[in-house]
Structure 1
Amino acid sequence: MKIGQFEIAGKACIMGVLNVTPDSFSDGGFYVDLEAALEQAAELIALGAAVIDVGGESTRPGADFVTEEEEIARIVPVIKAIKEKFDILVSIDTYKTATAKAALEAGADILNDVWAGLYDGQMLTLAAQANVPIILMHNQKDENYQDITQEVCHFLQERAQAALAAGVAKENIWLDPGFGFAKDAQQNLDLLKGLDRVTRLGYPVLFGISRKRVVDYLLGGNTEALERDMGTAALSVYALIKGCQMVRVHNVEANRDLVKVISQLI
């Protein structure tokens, strides 16, 4: 498969999460130290991640806002160290263009924007100018959906068209339905059931549901975040069968063999 101009083995792959934040919902504070972050990156790569997704600001509900300066200070040393030591694709999980630009200058290869270029209006231009892949995620403040899957598809189509209009190459556009963002449990379930409608939009799709509350809901509603890895892996299989091409997960090991097997059958 291809991620923009990059060739990746197999029909599907894993994006490993590396949060260099003090307050992310499942691993906040684990990897704020550069050495710890680099060790985690090495483990994610050894276990089978094709992409390392570096994030410097938590996007969990109620998380504190992080300035561009602080976010850049968190992510740039980590990205530089990873790219110097490993031959691996790195994505930057940010919605701020200044942070994204600094990350690209540090060696990042992919932009992963939870606001699909809407935050400051410059992210799509940056993606076009840098000629890099960008992941556009569904996220909106209004949760009064009439048909969640239809509205997610409409939003993503609009953002993809905006990216094209800004000069982003079609092969550089990825979509993410945004599980857990501005959606309650039932809406997440309905979107899961309609996931194949998202994968038929004509763009590759990233599936990011790792350890989120919808996984807890499906497991019975009494699990902690770190107890949701097998539930996450089950949903990874489901997502690949529905047509997604990349799964974003915290626990690469729990997903590796499932993704390897299923990707040979789809």
Structure 2
Amino acid sequence: MTAQIYIQPVGFTASPQSELGDAIRLAGGMVYAHRFAIITREDGRVADRVLVSSQGMERALSALPADIAADARDQWAALSKVHSPIQLGERTLRLDQPQIMGILNVTPDSFSDGGEFLDRPEAGKAHASAMLEAGAALVDIGGESTRPGAAATWEGDELERVIPAVEYCAAMGAAISVDTRRPAVMEAALDAGAHIINDVSALRHDPRSLALMAAQDCPVVLMHAPGEGDNLHANDSYDNVALDVFDWLRTARDRAIEAGIAREHIILDPGIGFGKSLADNLALINTLPLFHALGQPLLLGASRKRMIGALSNEAPADQRLGGSIALAMAGMNAGVQLLRVHDVPQTVQARNVWRGLRDAALTDFAMTAPD
């Protein structure tokens, strides 16, 4: 039997002092975890699950079989890893608190705002500027819809859509991410002033992408999607969605590192809505802290997605603000570093209030033991 190990944070606290120091700072952010599940899987099935505190972890790790102990120790170290800031041109992206990535779609058929900014550069500029002014740390530009059933975009069309948007955002001094799976678009976008490549295929769509990104020496987002080729939503069958996505992302990370991409440049995204049912998406949201054990910054893209409509009487995409904020807050509470959203001002406001509560908890006199 092939055994695999996972360490999932399952108990959280507002501050380490509330647990008398029996807690870790999750991924160097503003979330503290004090209870953990050590999960063992054999041949794809969960065989054992043990709960331990942070102070009991060393004893628990020492009791593990040798064939999984080293992986468990790597995951335990990764859970408290402090991620260095990312330099994006003249802007510095700190990863010690949630950062907001504002969406700029220059497509005719995106599920939420398709066509609104296509062939309308002034409208696109105004939208990007408003997102930056509202507090977006970076703008994510996409020229191809990847919703279920969407037709693939010809590379030439994608270039014509994306590059002008990159150029006008770069002229504003924005930090820029480009959502693409095509190496020609990646290269042209980076040459035009983009800083991050956000690939929904995790650099699998084109075999040239891995070498290109290794040569470019810039950050890349690797997203989970079960399908290949043009249908990223296919093959949507899981034994345990959280653990299966964890394993898939670990393989994608290792594949990128083996190709020469620096580990510190890799960001991981569990791919909410890509080849996943409502139950799968809810399970992933509830287990987001697990993915910090992979040792990379995390991105969550759940804004306005169909799962919100499914839970709210099929509300259309432009009426999913409340659900989008709820999912963003779930990401914040899980220690996710990057939140990809349509509604930047509202999400920034929610983040700022969330941070205020976190800061207050660290200095709450009621949690301080008397001398």
| 2:273 aligned residue | 180
Q: What secondary structure, in the 3-state scheme, does the structure 1 residue paired with 2:294 have? A: coil
Cα deviation, 1:101-123, whole Å, max 9, x if unaligned, reads 11111110000000001001222
| 2:164 aligned residue | 77
Deviation at 1:47, TM superposition (A): 1.0
2:121 is aligned with 1:49: no
Cα deviation, 1:75-114, whole Å, max 9, x if unaligned, reads 1111111111x12210010011111111111110000000
Matched residue type, 1:24: S
2:332 is aligned with 1:240: yes
Maintained 8 Å contact 2:297/2:336: yes
Deviation at 1:128, TM superposition (A): 1.5
Cα deviation, 1:121-153, whole Å, max 9, x if unaligned, reads 222222211111000000012111010000100
| 1:207 aligned residue | 300
Maintained 8 Å contact 1:53/1:90: yes
Cα deviation, 1:229-252, whole Å, max 9, x if unaligned, reads 121111111111112101000010
Matched residue type, 1:195: L
Distance in 2, matches of 1:166 and 1:263, equals: 37
Distance in 1, matches of 2:307 and 2:202, equals: 22
Maintained 8 Å contact 1:185/1:214: yes
Distance in 2, matches of 1:49 and 1:200, equals: 27
| 1:12 aligned residue | 98
| 1:160 aligned residue | 253
| 2:291 aligned residue | 198
Please, which moves more after superposition, 23-32 or 62-71? 62-71
Deviation at 1:3, TM superposition (A): 5.3
Deviation at 1:164, TM superposition (A): 0.7
Distance in 2, matches of 1:124 and 1:37, equals: 30
Matched residue type, 1:231: G
Deviation at 1:179, TM superposition (A): 0.2
Alignment of structure 1 residues 2-151 onto 2, 5 Å:
2=84, 4-6=86-88, 7-9=92-94, 11-32=97-118, 33-84=120-171, 86-141=172-227, 142-151=235-244
Deviation at 1:36, TM superposition (A): 1.2
Distance in 1, matches of 2:236 and 2:151, equals: 21
Distance in 2, matches of 1:41 and 1:63, equals: 25
| 2:343 aligned residue | 251
Q: What secondary structure, in the 3-state scheme, does the structure 2 residue paired with 1:22 have? A: coil
Matched residue type, 2:327: L
Maintained 8 Å contact 1:2/1:8: no
Deviation at 1:262, TM superposition (A): 2.5
Distance in 2, matches of 1:114 and 1:262, equals: 29
Q: What secondary structure, in the 3-state scheme, does the structure 1 residue paired with 2:114 have? A: coil
Cα deviation, 1:42-74, whole Å, max 9, x if unaligned, reads 111111111100000111111121111110011
- Per chain length, whose mean CA-contact separation is higher, i.e. which structure has more relative contact order (CA < 8 Å, sep 6+)? 1
Q: Give ranges in structure 2 of 5+ residues lacking alignment.
A: 1-82, 228-234, 360-371
Distance in 1, matches of 2:165 and 2:84, equals: 25
Between the two proteins, what is the percent identity of the paired residues?
38
- Which structure carries more strand by proportion? 2
